Amino acid sequence: MKFTLIKTNISPIKKICLAGLFMALTVILQKVVAVNYLAFAPFARLSFGGPALIMFASVLLGPIYGALVGMGSDLLGYLIFDPRTYPPFLQITAIYTLLGFVSYFVFSFVFSLKSKKLILGIEIASFSLIWVAVVLFILFSNIYDTPLFAKILIPVVSGLIFIGLILFSIFYKGKDENPLISPLHICFASFLCDFFVILLFGSVMKAWAFGFASFPAIILIQAVTMFFNVMLDTMFISTFQRFTKNDFVRGNL
C-alpha cells in the first residue's frame, strides 16, 4: 500500500471562501436542522449532516481549514443560538476542531487502501465488536434499572441497525455512476472518524463537561447514534464529491 495525501487544485482565496461557506452551512445543520440537548440526555446532539460537512471540508480544503471550520462553526452556533440558555462548552468545541483536523489524514489513509475486501472485513469486525459491547453493557450493567423487556428489545433493535449499516456499506452506490471516491471508502473513513473522535474522544470531553458520572450513558448513546451518523455521513459526502470532482488531483485517488 502506498500512502499518499489527498491533493486539490484549489487556490487559497477559494479555500477561504469555501471555508466560510462550510462554516455557515454547518451552523445551520448543527443548530437548525438538528436536535440539540435532549432533556433526558443533554449531552446528545442529533445532527443531520453537520459532522459530514466538517469532514468533507477537511478533505477538500486540508486539515487546517477543516479544524477552523469545525471550531468556528461550533463557536458561531453557540453565540447565535445558545448564549442565554447554556454555558459555553469548549470541550465540545474541541471535539469538532479535532474532527476537522484529523479527517484529512484518516480519509487519505483509507483512500490509499485498494482492497475493498479488506475494508469490508475490518468494517464488519469493528461493527460486530461494538454491537457486542453495547449488548453486554445493556444486559449486565447495574448502573440503570433497565426493565427486562428493554434488555431484550435494545439488543435486537441495535442488532438490526448494525446489520443494516453493514448492508448499506456493501450496496450503497450513490447517484454517481463513476464516483471519484467509492461510497465504501467513504463509509469506512467516516466510521473511523466517528469512532475515534466522536465516540472515544467525544465521550471523554462530554463527560468532562457534564460530569464523569454520566460517562457510561454518554458512550452508550454515542455508540448507538454513531451508526446512524456513519450512514448519513456517507450519503452526504458522496453527494458533496459530485460537485467538487474537478477540484481533486485525480492521480492521488
Q: Is 248 helix (H, G, I), strand (E, B) or coil?
A: strand
175 vs 156, higher pLDDT = 156
CB 104 within 8 A of CB 6: yes
95-110 confidence digits (pLDDT tens): 999 999 999 999 999 9
Name all domains of the chain by residue range, CATH numbers in brackets.
Answer: 12-252 (1.10.1760.20)
pLDDT exceeds cutoff 80 at 203: yes
Beta bridge partners of 35: 46
pLDDT score, position 22: 96
Q: Return the C-alpha cell found at 73.
A: 462553526
Alpha helices by DSSP H, the chain: 12-27, 50-61, 63-81, 90-111, 116-140, 148-171, 183-193, 202-210, 215-242
Q: How far apart are CA 194 and CA 187, in angstroms?
A: 10
Residue 64, SS3 per DSSP: helix
Residues in the chain: 253
Candidates 129, 112, 140, 127; CA nearest to 170 is 127
pLDDT higher than 60, residue 43: no
Q: In sequence order, what are the residues at sequence separation of 6 or more whose Cβ sits closer than 8 angstroms to the Cβ of residue 81?
A: 31
3-class secondary-structure state, position 8: strand
pTM given for the model:
0.87
Q: 27-41, 108-122, 158-172 — which one is most confidently predicted on average?
A: 108-122
More confident site: 20 or 230 = 20
Residue 8 bridge partners (DSSP): 248
| Rounded-to-integer distance, Cα 244 and Cα 248, Å | 7
> Which residue do the cell numbers 449499516 mark?
165
pLDDT band, very low/low/confident/very high, at 216 (cuts 50, 70, 90) = confident
Other C-beta atoms closer than 10 Å to the C-beta of 207 total 19
